[in-house]
Amino acid sequence: MRSKTSVDKRISYTSADTIPIKCMLDRELLASTGKGVIPPVHIQFMPTNICNLNCTYCSCSKRDKDLTMRLEDAVRIIDICAELGTRAVTITGGGEPLCYPYFDELVEHFVSRNIQIGLITNGILLNKFKADTLQKMTWCRISTGDDREFSGQYSESLHEVVLKAGNVDWAFSHVVTAEPNMETIRGIIHFANSHNFTHVRLVNDIFHPEEDPSGAIKDNLDGIDDSLVVYQGGKEYTAGGDCFVCYLKPVIAPDLQVYPCCGVQYASVVPARDMSEDFTLGHAFDLAEIISKSNVPYDGSKCARCYYSNYNKLLGSLLKDIKHKEFV
């Protein structure tokens, strides 16, 4: 396994509500915005809405749970994205991406187009896939929550998967409720420490941002090394405005529509818990046309909650010409 290095976990492993340092360091992106175009550098790809769990805090609980992308459509979309400059993908849901019947083929095609792969999964089906498929991932984030136990066959299965998957960067993202499941939280932190994980993200239930139990959690971690833990949450987000992040990291859903970000499910005043057509940018086959207009902001005023305001401010500024650039 790779050795731990000193990194800023908040910047390296989160994006919403962070200063977009990665954008500032990306020379290709800077060159492209100088020409008035924001390429889809990092797409969020949802191949299926099928899921093997029914979590109470799920942001997609009202989706069409039978909807799945055809493989030929997925391949066509990947090719379009690659031609437009996509360099990374997060395969996510929707549903549970490992329920997608063509997951192996999906991974192979992303790799063939030199697109780095991140995976968000509940981890239950990881042991069903061959080591060479898992080893093609750059990182894998395992989603857990207070309503699930972390013990027995599940943790043993993850142990075997992590051992065979080589240099994948592993992490946990755990949804914390008002009454934290300390046994589960302690279990994933201990597992992360003993298996060289990059981090453990503890995030509040998105539908109850006013609840912030991080203090109580810290008080109950006596004897456990929590240096890998990133506490994220407890903030009321502002309403949206001019949106540019939708071009940089668009969401492509099983209905083949392009959505502005992974927060659409809970962006409206009353969270839809689904990818509402009110937010769509257009059809995924037309992504080239969508991106060609990326110097014009998407109207994010319909979003009651915006999670990428820092990204939007930066990207909007990069598209404008400024004087006295040397006087930093």
pLDDT digits (tens, 9 = 90+) for 124-152: 999 999 899 999 999 999 999 999 999 88
Q: Answer with the residue of higher pLDDT: 313 or 222.
A: 313
Average of pLDDT values for 80-103? Answer: 97
Residue 159: pLDDT band with limits 50, 70, 90: very high
Burial profile 187-207: b = 16 or more Cβ within 10 angstroms, e = fewer: bbbebbeeeebbbbbbbbbbe
Alpha-carbon Rg for the chain in angstroms:
19
Tell me: pLDDT of 269 over 90: no
Residues above pLDDT 90, as percent of the chain:
70
Lowest average pLDDT, out of 52-66, 78-92, 124-138, goes to 52-66
Length of the chain as a residue count: 328
| SS3 letters across 131-161 | HHHHCCCCEEEEEEECCCCCCHHHHHHHHHH
3-state SS, residue 264: helix
Average pLDDT, the chain: 92
Residue-level pLDDT at 3 = 46
d(CA 57, CA 147): 9
The residues, ordered by sequence, that sit 6+ positions from 327 with a Cβ below 8 Å of its Cβ are none
Pick the closest to residue 80 from 250, 311, 244 (CA basis): 250
Residue-level pLDDT at 234 = 57
Residue-level pLDDT at 325 = 82
d(CA 285, CA 277): 16
Residue 286: pLDDT band with limits 50, 70, 90: very high
User: The domain 39-237+248-263+280-291 is classified under which CATH number: 3.20.20.70, 2.40.170.20, 3.40.50.1980, 3.40.50.720?
Assistant: 3.20.20.70
Is 0.75 topped by the overall pTM? Answer: yes
Question: Is the Cβ–Cβ distance between 97 and 103 less than 8 Å?
Answer: yes
CA distances from 231 to 23, 78, 183, 198, 201 (A): 23, 34, 17, 14, 6
Residue-level pLDDT at 139 = 97
Tell me: pLDDT of 154 over 90: yes
Question: Is the Cβ–Cβ distance between 256 and 77 less than 8 Å?
Answer: yes
Pick the closest to residue 151 from 186, 119, 176, 180 (CA basis): 186
Residue-level pLDDT at 38 = 98
Structure tokens belonging to residue 145: 């929550």
- Give residue limits of the domains in the chain: 39-237+248-263+280-291
Residue-level pLDDT at 1 = 41
CA distances from 142 to 122, 154, 202, 287 (A): 5, 12, 12, 29
d(CA 47, CA 274): 15
Tell me: pLDDT of 5 over 70: no
Residue-level pLDDT at 16 = 77
Strands 257-259 and 251-252, how do they pair? antiparallel
Question: Is the Cβ–Cβ distance between 251 and 264 less than 8 Å?
Answer: yes
